[in-house]
Structure 1
Amino acid sequence: MRMIGPVLVALATLCSTAPAQSASLLDYVGECVPFARAASGIQIYGNAWTWWDQADGRYRRGETPRVGAVIVFEKSAQLRLGHVAVVSRVVTRRVLMITHANWSRQNGERGHAEQDVTLTDVSPNNDWTSVKVWYRDRDGLGGSIYPVYGFIYGNPDAAAPRALARAVPAPELTGRNPDYVGALIDAY
């Protein structure tokens, strides 16, 4: 019975491997949540769809995309646990680039990080509540429309009961030469 404590600690350590331990953030293979936390600096834990409510009173939230903000996808039939991604570029009012993990298949498997992926707002009111995401398997925007809660910004909510440090996005959040033209072609 006395061995259970050390075993649980060892197991927790193995299960909590974070992308920051990779040689590069972009070498990461795993779930979207630890990747988004490492890429954005926003310290929220739990399933992706829970981030929106968890951010309330801790981080500012809104519907305007900003570089370094986390976009939170709602739980849906296609995304049972939701999804989180980090805004890497704002291309136009309705087109972004995101950096995220565990979306497209690469070499036949999910989980890999992808940098500067096109995401387009398809919501009727231009408020980022519905989006389409570029999908490597189709080499273009996927056909699915995903509901989105909004964006969580890296600066703490001024009304937060406890002080939070400003989140600092990872330097690898965006590439040196993102394909703006390709993003616009994908979106339109």
Structure 2
Amino acid sequence: MCAVAACGQVQTNQSSGIAPARMAFAMQEVEVLQSKGSRVWCVPFARNLSGVEIRGNAGTWWNTAKKTSYDVSHDPEVGSVMVFSATRSMPMGHVAVVSEVLDNHKILVDHANWHRNKVSLGMAVIDVSAKQDWSRVRVESAPGAFGSVYPISGFILPNS
């Protein structure tokens, strides 16, 4: 399921493993921003939803996590933050929170600003890396349609 809309119209993925209180907090913060006419960015949304307290552009999160108390992995886990590497088309990187692991090569994520100033919940992501190590993915840009290939640094695990 891919739900993309402004905050008040977002449909949540009922099977999401994200704690309801975390989701409520993240969505409340989105509503506050949008009511002020402010942009919804991926970094604060991921921080609010996951509890991973890293600052800076999404492209800096992986190296910051490796230097701090956060564990990192190349395997997705519900609640972990998937870090997209910075690229020419996405110079500040991107972050998304894993909401469900469907199988070894497909997950669902919740994130903001993949579609400009919107929150996307339950968006499918597939591993297309040659070594099947989650280093390259394709993201569902519309229901059943997967877009370009993006490099992934890995997953940051929230502290327990």
* TM-score bracket relative to the smaller structure: 0.7 to 0.9
Q: Matched residues, percent identical? A: 41
- Report the CA distance between 1:149 and its aligned residue: 0.3
Between structures 1 and 2, the one with greater strand share: 2
- Report the CA distance between 1:21 and its aligned residue: 2.9
Q: 1:31 to 1:54 in 2, by over 3 A?
A: same
Tell me, yes or no, if structure 1 residue 154 matches structure 2 residue 158. Answer: yes
Alignment of 1:110-125 (within 5 A): 110-125=116-131
Which residue number in structure 2 is paired with residue 49 of structure 1?
59
Q: 1:21 to 1:119 in 2, by over 3 A?
A: same
Q: d(CA) in 2 for partners of 1:67 and 1:29? A: 26
Which residue identity does 1:21 align to in structure 2?
E
Q: d(CA) in 1 for partners of 2:28 and 2:55? A: 15
Which residue number in structure 2 is paired with residue 64 of structure 1?
75
Which residue identity does 2:156 align to in structure 1?
I
- Asked which structure has the greater CA Rg, the reply is 1
Which string of whole-angstrom CA distances, capped at 9 and with x for unpartnered residues, describes residues 28-78 of structure 1? 951100000001010001000100001013200010110000000000012
Which residue number in structure 1 is paired with residue 21 of structure 2?
none
Q: 1:23 to 1:75 in 2, by over 3 A?
A: closer
Q: 1:46 to 1:135 in 2, by over 3 A?
A: same
Q: d(CA) in 2 for partners of 1:122 and 1:50? A: 23
RMSD (CA atoms): 2.3
Alignment of 1:3-152 (within 5 A): 20-22=28-30, 30-56=40-66, 57-104=68-115, 110-136=116-142, 139-152=143-156
Q: d(CA) in 1 for partners of 2:70 and 2:117? A: 27
> Does structure 2 conserve the Cα–Cα contact (< 8 Å) formed by 1:19 and 1:34?
no
Which residue identity does 1:153 align to in structure 2?
L
> Does structure 1 conserve the Cα–Cα contact (< 8 Å) formed by 2:134 and 2:154?
yes
- The SS at the match of 1:84 is strand
- The SS at the match of 1:152 is strand
TM-score by length of 2: 0.75
Q: d(CA) in 2 for partners of 1:80 and 1:88? A: 25
